[in-house]
Amino acid sequence: MSVNLDLRQNGPDVTFPLSVHPRASRDEVVGVQNGALKLRVAAPPVEGEANEACLRFLAKTLGLSRSRLEIVKGERSRHKVIRVKNVQVEDLLERLSTLERP
Condensed to tens digits (0 to 9), the pLDDT of residues 30-88 reads: 999 999 999 999 999 999 999 999 999 999 999 999 999 999 999 999 999 999 999 99
Distance of alpha carbon 69 from alpha carbon 58, whole angstroms: 8
Does the pLDDT value for residue 2 go beyond 80? no
Query: What superfamily in CATH does domain 2-97 come from?
Result: YggU-like (3.30.1200.10)
At position 31, the amino acid (one-letter code) is G
Q: In the prediction, which pLDDT does 29 show?
A: 93
Q: In the prediction, which pLDDT does 4 show?
A: 85
Does the pLDDT value for residue 1 go beyond 80? no
At position 6, the amino acid (one-letter code) is D
Which residue in 102, 81, 98 sits closest to 10, CA to CA?
Answer: 81
Other beta carbons within 10 Å of 53: 20
Instruction: Tell me if 86 sits within 8 A of 12, measured CB to CB.
Output: yes
Residue spans per domain, the chain: 2-97
The reported pTM is 0.90
Q: In the prediction, which pLDDT does 8 show?
A: 96
